[in-house]
């Protein structure tokens, strides 16, 4: 008989210890080590429908034939965009998001669209019965015959059904409910999640079937389980959005087959998720013209330019240490830009509270938004609005200079398409491309020049 040994595993980072500790040395979290019993010795390959441990030998890279496999595309262009052009056969994709955000709804709609193309699709739910999944399918209007629903949590039975049906697309909802019989720990533990994901990866690579797995998230918003789970899969997608708002954002944070900066916008309707093909109009539809502290910036999300509104509120502080709060941008960037405005422009912001927000719930992390934030702060401090048809693009240096940004041509074209009349951008970005006739581009070298152009002297 195989020997059994006891170990303590951190449920956040996967750190293993021979004894229990109150604080995990790996992630410095308290009370996260849980006792698990692991079977050691001769472990059989029980649990797999096919012995996938086939002998392999090294090959010269010049002798390997390169083939471009066709991707599986859905009718949702936003979903295809985030994945880099479609679903790659044999890939393993992890989707995470807050509870109730719409992960299961999105994957059920994708499964229906692929089934309508006469592809065999297997939707495996470990949290809902077949009738409960049917209720959601009726609400979404799904009637495809090639869509199979399975309510199962045993990995051995799941592997057998995949071998029997031979689907073209598989969904596991969710990975925290699947278990292997050889692993004695409870479903959802680090050992179970790691072992089940490893076997699903082998099944995907051997059979050439793409598998999408749903992962729960922690209170901090990270995918539950060890971080090695994100390293094992081919792509990691996050489904974001406020539960009280109808818009959802599908963002790729890892993708071996495409860009990691792509973003897809969806709107939650009664009949399911509907893709938003022009998100700039959505983010700017409620913008109030003539209000101080409001600017518009053209930010690049992957290969797509998106126009969003940045709002700033500057008010006198009642405390010794003024507050600096930011939503949608890096909180450390706000005091940095305020220090530049104090030193290079002469704005006395030492005793002012600053509140910065990106309208629409979008998160921006590129340096090209610096100039828009700085102008919004100066506009609110002076109580002087900017022109509603202006867009500000540029990175701000510590010496007050406005630095060059990438893909300025796509940003300006998106601004012209939405009816904006003028773009204030770095002067070094003016050469090497053609400006659209319907818009004026003004180059500036410093933040002082940008404020003079945007608000006047």
Rounded to whole angstroms, how far apart are CA atoms 223 and 164? 31
320 is in an annotated binding site: no
Say how far apart CA 8 and CA 158 lie, in whole Å: 28
The structure tokens 């601004």 sit at 415
Q: For residue 157, which of 213, 203, 121 has the smallest C-alpha distance? A: 203
Residue 185 counted as an annotated binding residue: no
225 known member of a binding site:
no
If phi > 0 it is left, if psi is from -120 to 50 it is alpha, else beta; for residue 90 that is left
Task: Please answer whether residues 140 and 113 qualify as being in contact, where contact means their C-beta atoms are separated by less than 8 angstroms.
Answer: no
Strands (E), 320-431: 324-327, 352-358, 390-392, 395-396, 402-403, 422-426
454 is an annotated ligand-binding site residue: no
3-state secondary structure of 303: coil
- The b/e string for 309-324 (b: 16+ C-beta within 10 A; e otherwise) is bbbbbbeeeeeeebeb
Residue pointed to by tokens 């004894």: 19
Does 138 belong to an annotated binding site?
A: no
102 is in an annotated binding site: yes
Asked whether residue 356 is marked as a ligand-binding residue, the answer is no
Q: Is 99 assigned to a binding site?
A: yes
Return the residue matching tokens 């083939």.
67
Number of Cβ within a 10 Å radius of residue 227: 13
Q: How many helices and strands (H and E) does the chain possess?
A: 11, 21
Give the residue ranges of the annotated binding site: 97-104
Known binding-site residue numbers for ATP: 97-104
């Amino acid at each position: 008989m195989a020997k059994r040994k006891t170990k303590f595993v951190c449920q956040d980072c996967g750190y293993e210890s021979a004894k229990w500790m109150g604080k995990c040395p790996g992630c410095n979290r308290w009370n996260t080590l849980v006792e698990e019993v692991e079977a050691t010795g001769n472990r059989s390959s029980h649990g797999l429908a096919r012995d996938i441990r086939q002998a392999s030998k090294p090959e010269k890279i010049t002798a390997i034939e390169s083939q471009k496999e066709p991707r599986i595309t859905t009718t949702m262009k936003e979903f295809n965009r985030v994945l880099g052009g479609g679903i790659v056969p044999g890939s393993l994709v992890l989707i995470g998001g807050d509870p109730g955000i719409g992960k299961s709804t999105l994957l059920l709609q994708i499964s229906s669209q692929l089934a309508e193309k006469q592809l065999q699709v297997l939707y495996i739910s470990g949290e809902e019965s077949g009738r409960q999944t049917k209720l959601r399918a009726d609400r979404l209007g799904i009637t495809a015959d090639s869509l199979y629903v399975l309510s199962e949590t045993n990995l051995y039975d799941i592997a057998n059904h995949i071998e029997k049906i031979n689907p073209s697309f598989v969904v596991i909802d969710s990975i925290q409910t699947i278990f292997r019989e050889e692993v004695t720990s409870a479903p959802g533990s680090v050992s179970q999640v790691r072992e089940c994901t490893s076997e699903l990866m082998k099944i995907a690579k051997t059979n050439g079937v793409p598998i999408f797995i749903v992962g729960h998230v922690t209170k901090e918003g990270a995918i539950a389980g060890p971080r090695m789970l994100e390293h094992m899969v081919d792509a990691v997608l996050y489904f974001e959005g406020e539960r009280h708002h109808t818009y959802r954002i599908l963002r790729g944070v890892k993708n071996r087959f495409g860009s990691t900066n792509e973003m897809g916008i969806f709107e939650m309707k009664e009949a399911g998720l509907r893709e938003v093909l022009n998100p700039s109009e959505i983010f700017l539809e409620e913008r109030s013209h003539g209000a101080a502290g409001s600017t518009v910036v053209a930010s690049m999300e992957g290969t797509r330019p998106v126009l969003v509104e940045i709002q700033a509120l500057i008010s006198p502080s009642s405390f010794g240490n003024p507050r600096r709060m930011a939503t949608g941008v890096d909180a450390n960037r706000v005091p940095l830009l305020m220090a530049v405005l104090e030193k290079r422009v002469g704005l006395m912001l030492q005793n002012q509270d600053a509140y910065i927000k990106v309208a629409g719930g979008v998160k921006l992390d590129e340096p090209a938004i610096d100039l828009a934030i700085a102008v919004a702060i100066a506009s609110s401090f002076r109580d002087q609005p900017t022109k509603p048809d202006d867009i500000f693009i540029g990175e701000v240096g510590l010496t007050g200079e406005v630095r060059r940004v990438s893909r300025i041509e796509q940003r300006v074209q998106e601004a012209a398409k939405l009816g904006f009349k003028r773009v204030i951008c770095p002067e070094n970005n003016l050469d090497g491309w053609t400006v659209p006739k319907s818009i004026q581009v003004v180059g500036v070298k410093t933040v002082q020049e940008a404020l003079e152009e945007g608000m006047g002297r």
